Amino acid sequence: MELSIPSRYCGPPESGNGGWVSGAVARAVPTTPGRPAVSVRLSSPPPLERTLTLTSEIVRDPDHGPGVTVRLLDREHVVATATAAPDLEDAVPGTVTVEQARDAEDRYEGLADHPFPTCFSCGTARQPGDGLCLRPGPLADGTGRYATTWTPDEEADVPLVWAALDCPGGWSAGIAGRPMVLGTMTARLHALPETGTPHVVLAWQRGSQGRRHLSGSALLSPSGEVLARAEATWVAVDPTTIRPRESR
């Protein structure tokens, strides 16, 4: 199976948005009742507009039986690896209304300084209809949680939902003034959002370990129902090093 990442879905200017790419790979992973989520590890910046290959391999888990490992390859080079994963156990820390999320958008740090303004999910250089234009900012309640609204202007699919869950987590983990890239992301999708309806993406910090910063995020319906959720590990980087692997 082949996959090409359109330039529309970039994060940094020359590589794919981590959430969208992870969601595109996750679609190829079969899940089970014991492993209803998918975990994706990004090994290198995903190149844009290049034919990549998706491969699958059956693996055996002593607790859950046979499973499948899916790899995204740029020739023999591994770009991403994905497997089914157990459900996310941590509770979503409360709910947020659309009005509260809109208020938080006024405090979006990316409006003053954005490490990757071209980002499909949260870039300030993108326009509605071209990018998601998420503006995750800290809520006014002092909890440290971040929130933004998202009104899908096209029919949402799995990669789009993963992209929406992606960047709010990064901002809640402290990406402002400290560029980070997505290292791993584990997500479970319960239902797709409705086109043209305002939803809320809630995000929160889950700790840090040196250069690694942990986040959680959830996509909420207008009534507060959890439609999807994710946990991610972010890695602080020098932004000058974020370039896709050159074609051979």
CATH architecture observed for domain 98-241: Roll (3.10)
Could you report the per-residue pLDDT of 40-78, keeping only the tens digit for each? 999 999 999 999 999 999 876 666 556 899 999 999 999
Confidence check: pLDDT of 245 > 50: no
- Predicted structure pTM score: 0.92
- Round the average pLDDT of the chain to a whole number and report it: 92
Where in the chain are the domains?
A: 2-85, 98-241
Confidence check: pLDDT of 106 > 80: yes
Q: Mutual orientation of helices 158-173 and 18-26 as an angle, nearest 10°?
A: 140
User: DSSP string of the chain?
Assistant: -EE---GGGBSSTTBB-HHHHHHHHHTTS--BTTB-EEEEEE-SPPBSSS-EEEEEEEEEETTTEEEEEEEEEETTEEEEEEEEEPPP-SPP-----HHHHHHHHTT-GGGT--S-TT-TTT-TT--BTTB-----EE-TTSS--EEEEE--SS---HHHHHHHHHHHHHHHHT-TTS-EEEEEEEEEES-PPPTTS-EEEEEEEEEEETTEEEEEEEEE-TT--EEEEEEEEEEE--GGG--PPPP-
Hey, do 2-85 and 98-241 end up sharing a CATH topology, with the first three levels equal?
Answer: yes
CATH of domain 2-85: 3.10.129.10
pLDDT score of 246:
45
Query: Nearest-5° angle of CA 2, CA 68, CA 75?
Result: 35
